[in-house]
Amino acid sequence: LITLSGYPSLHSGVLNEGGLFGERQGWHLPGFDTSNWTTRDLIEGLPDSKAGVGFFVTTFNLTVTQGSDVPMSFTFEEPLGQPYRALLFVNGWMMGKRVGNLGPQSKFIVHEGILDYNGVNTVAVALWSMTPGVPVTPDLQLSIDNVYDGGVGGIVTNNPPWSNVGRV
């Protein structure tokens, strides 16, 4: 019998979390306070092209018309070949892993229910730059893949918010 009592996120469970310090601290979860962080765009990579891991977090609002089905994706649009790896988190859920110098996946579909189609959304990227002195410039974009009439409707988001429970 496996119990998750005391585990920081009972919503997503242990398989959504990795071993990075930022994941254990919940930096990828909605509501984590990044107000004292240095502002830096993901496309700038890590300072001075150093090797290492950095976390990038942003929030944005969506307003999608009721009665529409609007599939959306996050896409890394930089050229293949840069020596980095990235973990993509959307509203606390790990939605994909990008290997910049191998590929092949650069597009990550995120469905309604993970994305709040009428509210605030949090996107976090754990960027691991693997080679010192080599700039990496991940260019992550949210795109609308299509718009269809007659959305499912009634989809409720249940994304895990940040709390300090279980954080050390």
pLDDT 10s digits, 94-122 = 999 999 999 889 999 999 999 999 999 99
CA distance 135 to 130: 10
* pLDDT for res 164: 79
CA distance 94 to 114: 10
Element (H, E) at 81: none
CA distance 124 to 143: 16
CA distance 160 to 129: 28
Token duo for residue 128: 């691991």
* pLDDT for res 168: 60
73 pLDDT band, cuts 50/70/90, is: very high
Element (H, E) at 121: strand 118-129
Residue 46 is given by DSSP the state S
**Nearest one of 36, 35, 39, 56 to 136, comparing CA atoms:** 56
* pLDDT for res 2: 44
Listed in order, strand segments (DSSP E) in 25-83 are 52-63, 68-69, 72-76
Token duo for residue 124: 């976090």
Q: What is the pTM of this model?
A: 0.88
* pLDDT for res 130: 95
* pLDDT for res 62: 95
Q: What angle do CA 18, 132, 128 make, to 5 degrees?
A: 15
Is the confidence at residue 9, as pLDDT, over 80?
no
Tens of pLDDT, residue by residue over 43-68, are 999 999 999 999 999 999 999 988 88
156 pLDDT band, cuts 50/70/90, is: confident
Residue 112 is given by DSSP the state B
